[in-house]
Structure 1
Amino acid sequence: MAETLRSRVTRAMAGGVHALLDRIEDHAPEAMMEQALRELDQVVDEVRHELGTVTANRHLAQQRHAELNRQHDTLKAQIDTALGQGREDLARAAVGRQLDIETQLPLLEASLAELAQQEGEHRGYVDALLAKRREMEAALSQFRQSRASSAGTAAKPGSSAAQIEQRMAGATDAFDRIYERQTGLSGVARAGRLDDASKLQTLEDLVRQTQIDARLAQLKQSGADGQA
Structure 2
Amino acid sequence: MSETLSYRVGRLVSGGFHAMLDKAEDLAPMLAFNENLRELDKAIDEVRGELGKVVAQKHLASKKLNDENTRHESLNDSIMTAVNVGRDDLAQVGIAEQMDIEARIPVLENTIADCTDKEKELEGFIIALQAKRREISLAIEQYQQTVATSGANGQTVGASSLDKIAQRADKASNAFDRTMSRQTGMAHNTNGNGNAQSLKELEELSRNNRIAERLAQLKMK
TM-score range, shorter chain: 0.7 to 0.9
State the Cα distance separating 1:191 from its structure 2 match. Answer: 6.9
Specify the SS of the correspondent of 1:173. coil
For the structure 1 residues 192 and 32, does the alpha-carbon distance in structure 2 shift closer, same or farther, using more than 3 Å as the test? Answer: closer
Q: Percent identity?
A: 40
For residues 133-172 of structure 1, the aligned pairs below 5 Å read 133-150=133-150, 151-152=152-153, 157-165=159-167, 167-168=169-170, 170-171=172-173
| Deviation per residue, 1:8-60 (Å, 9 max, x gap) | 21232345645421255466322331222112111111111111111111111
Per the alignment, residue 175 of structure 2 pairs with 173
Q: Is the 8 A contact 1:79 1:94 kept in 2?
A: yes
Per the alignment, residue 217 of structure 2 pairs with 218
Q: Which fold has the larger relative contact order, with Cα–Cα distance below 8 Å and residues 6 or more apart in sequence?
A: 2
Q: Counterpart of 1:210 in structure 2: which amino acid?
A: N
* Structure 2 length-normalised TM: 0.84
Per the alignment, residue 104 of structure 2 pairs with 104
* Structure 1 length-normalised TM: 0.82
Q: Which blocks of at least 5 consecutive residues in structure 1 are unaligned?
A: 223-228
For the structure 1 residues 120 and 27, does the alpha-carbon distance in structure 2 shift closer, same or farther, using more than 3 Å as the test? Answer: closer
Q: Is the 8 A contact 1:83 1:220 kept in 2?
A: yes
For residues 22-171 of structure 1, the aligned pairs below 5 Å read 22-25=22-25, 28-150=28-150, 151-152=152-153, 157-165=159-167, 167-168=169-170, 170-171=172-173
Specify the SS of the correspondent of 2:199. helix
Q: Is the 8 A contact 1:16 1:36 kept in 2?
A: no
Q: Is the 8 A contact 1:13 1:172 kept in 2?
A: no
Q: Is the 8 A contact 2:33 2:140 kept in 1?
A: yes
Q: Counterpart of 1:60 in structure 2: which amino acid?
A: L
Work out the number of aligned pairs and report it: 218
Cα distance between partner residues in 1 of 2:48 and 2:184 = 24
Q: Counterpart of 2:54 in structure 1: which amino acid?
A: V
For the structure 1 residues 215 and 122, does the alpha-carbon distance in structure 2 shift closer, same or farther, using more than 3 Å as the test? Answer: same
Verify: 1:205 aligned to 2:204, yes or no.
Answer: yes
CA RMSD, 1 decimal: 2.8
Q: Is the 8 A contact 1:8 1:43 kept in 2?
A: yes
Cα distance between partner residues in 1 of 2:116 and 2:2 = 24
